[in-house]
Amino acid sequence: MTDRRGFLGGALAVAALATARGAAAQGTRVLRIGISQYPATLHPNIDAMAAKSYVLGACMRPLTEFGPDWRPRTFLATELATFENGRAKREPSPKGGEGVAVTYTIHPDATWGDGTPVSTRDVLFTWEVGRHPQSGVTAAETYRRIHRIDVHDGKTFTVHDEKLTYQYNLLNDFRLLPEHLERPVFEADPATYRNRTLYDTDPTNPGLWHGPYRIVEVETGVRIVLERNPTFYGDPPFFDRVEIRTVENTAALEAHLLSGAVDMIEGSLGLSLDQALAFERRHGDRYVVHYQPGLVYEHIDLDLRNPHLAKREVRRALLHAIDRELLVRQLFAGRQPVAHANVHPLDAVYDPDVPKYTHDPDRAASLLEAAGYRRGPEGVWVDGEGRRLSLRLSTTAGNRTRELVQQVLQGMWRQAGIEVRIDNEPPRVFFGETVTKRRFEMAMFAWISSPENVPRSTLHCEEIPSEENGWSGQNFTGYCNPEMDALIDAIETELDFEKRRALWSRLQRLYTTDLPALPLYFRAEAHIWPRWLSGVRPTGHQAPVTLEIEHWRRTDA
């Protein structure tokens, strides 16, 4: 029987190679990048997805973000606001306590791709969209906390935040929207705006982009083509054209690289560590394989509405029933550390004494018995109402490593009397519908965070997505604990690092006690690029490497 997926992948590779050769013959500098996911949306403020961030890093610039050195810096803004330089000032909060006012200036030469200046009109419109309860923006809390924005001129503005936080001067999630294009779409119906935005209905409109590149061609699910943005205010990029090609099957992605259909594979959206290690052994003379440890938290979100998963004893039993040390040792040669909580050991606020769940099947059985379960037919546990402890585990289809991890976990749980069924979907469906709209039971994926990133959007009661709030927020598990909310609020407003670290320790301990998600491991990303490519600096956190794409060079040109 013919493998149609393999045939199609080969045909696409041949077509892409022919296109690249044609471009080379005309003297165009082309870079072809392979990734394993296609963005569910290209809107900068709706849905959190690594594939989207990677594309947008080349086409848009945030006001502020963390750099490869894990320090905050400006991109679209001219200078980082601090108390020392006078751009940040403490002020009374309208809700009581202390707030903060931060002043930023947009780069004077920054324009959208159609020549319209990036201005404070865009700032006010972005704030309006972000505050609307039905807009569906992901980081809704960022916009809700801003109670006023003062406009000084076309480029300078002051944001008044009702809460003074230790990251008071960061506007990483405040990604500007083009008011002159998106306002009519938004005002027509805010509740359906996320489905009608020009970022998805007309993504090749140059006025949507203000980075070194703009999108000129889109083949949904297949590729996104970028070309130089002639209005970019920064250094002109070396490559005239960048093609970002999606190959959701990671084995096929490797074949695309070797055939020349793509030049490089992005680390956060590419081969798994085990694949990369094997690839380096075979082809290390032709490619650079760079292993970047980072803040990539592989875990399993649990739907706490499920009658089984609602019981904390069951969640603990699920973790005791699996051997994560064996898993990372056998699948990843021990190079990816087991995650004991949601904070990476490299992060300054990590607590090394956080409670740890070792592989202990007897302890798992005791927890289930305490929760009212007994052994039923075929050795599967059943609860007091006779329901089998049977759960559905979903992840991104085509990701060979995740599918292998699923199978290993499924076998371990089977031995412990827990039935787990595998049900995977393409990434754009898994993230765009299943996870966002909470249609899963157990969902395995990764969070990519910034240094000392407060998990408000994933753990706070107010961040649970629902139809009523336009599916905004990322607390997909539905976890709600007033103590966790209080810790998140306290961490954000504590400027003293040592006091803040103590609060972080309490948060990690509460997380491992309640287990709204099952920690698996922290990923090391394997970036693969040709030996002729220079200037690529992986970050190891949520800011995409493409934020410096204009500095990438071909050294043999």
Grouped pLDDT means (10 residues each) for the chain, 557 residues: 34 44 62 94 90 96 93 95 96 93 98 98 97 88 93 98 93 96 97 95 98 97 97 97 94 95 94 88 93 90 98 98 95 87 92 95 98 94 96 92 94 98 92 93 91 92 92 94 96 93 97 98 92 94 94 89
Instruction: Name beta bridge partners: 299.
Output: 445, 519
- Report the pLDDT value the prediction gives residue 6, as an integer from 0 to 100: 35
What secondary structure letter does DSSP report for 142? H
- Report the pLDDT value the prediction gives residue 12, as an integer from 0 to 100: 42
- Report the pLDDT value the prediction gives residue 297, as an integer from 0 to 100: 93
- Report the pLDDT value the prediction gives residue 557, as an integer from 0 to 100: 61
Boundary of a domain, candidates 116, 147, 180: 180
Residue ranges of the alpha helices (H) in 103-249? 120-131, 140-144, 179-188, 193-196, 198-201
Q: What is the CATH number of the domain that holds 333?
A: 3.10.105.10
Q: Return the ∠ at Cα 61 (arms to 43 and 536), rounded to 5°.
A: 110
Tell whether 14 and 81 lie within a shared domain: no
Q: Could you tell me the pTM of the whole model?
A: 0.74
Q: Return the ∠ at Cα 303 (arms to 438 and 469), rounded to 5°.
A: 40
Boundary of a domain, candidates 148, 180, 212: 180
Is 391 within the bounds of a domain? yes
Tell whether 74 and 211 lie within a shared domain: no
Is 211 within the bounds of a domain? yes
Q: What is the CATH number of the domain that holds 136?
A: 3.90.76.10
- Report the pLDDT value the prediction gives residue 275, as an integer from 0 to 100: 87
Name the residue with tokens 């960022």. Answer: 142
Tell whether 283 and 398 lie within a shared domain: no
Is 101 within the bounds of a domain? yes
From CA 220, how far away is CA 201, in angstroms rounded?
11
Tell whether 152 and 224 lie within a shared domain: no
Is 192 within the bounds of a domain? no
Count other C-beta atoms under 10 Å from residue 79's C-beta.
11
Name the residue with tokens 């306290």. Answer: 490
Instruction: Write out the two tokens for 304.
Output: 């706490």
Tell whether 435 and 532 lie within a shared domain: no
* Helix/strand/coil for 449: coil
Q: Are 336 and 282 in contact (CB under 8 A)?
A: no
Is 355 within the bounds of a domain? yes
- Report the pLDDT value the prediction gives residue 26, as an integer from 0 to 100: 54
From CA 9, how far away is CA 257, in angstroms rounded?
12
What secondary structure letter does DSSP report for 206? G
Q: What is the total count of domains within the chain?
A: 3
Boundary of a domain, candidates 122, 146, 180: 180
Tell whether 376 and 406 lie within a shared domain: yes
Tell whether 356 and 467 lie within a shared domain: yes
Task: Specify the length of the chain in residues.
Answer: 557
Tell whether 265 and 319 lie within a shared domain: no
Tell whether 279 and 386 lie within a shared domain: no
Is 258 within the bounds of a domain? yes
**Domain range for 75:** 64-180
From CA 83, how far away is CA 203, in angstroms rounded?
39
Tell whether 401 and 287 lie within a shared domain: no
Q: Give Cα 380 distance to the centre of its chain.
A: 36
Is 189 within the bounds of a domain? no
Q: Are 377 and 384 in contact (CB under 8 A)?
A: no
Name the residue with tokens 């493998």. Answer: 3
Is 408 within the bounds of a domain? yes
Tell whether 169 and 227 lie within a shared domain: no
Instruction: Write out the two tokens for 398.
Output: 């085509």
Tell whether 37 and 77 lie within a shared domain: no
- Report the pLDDT value the prediction gives residue 149, as an integer from 0 to 100: 98
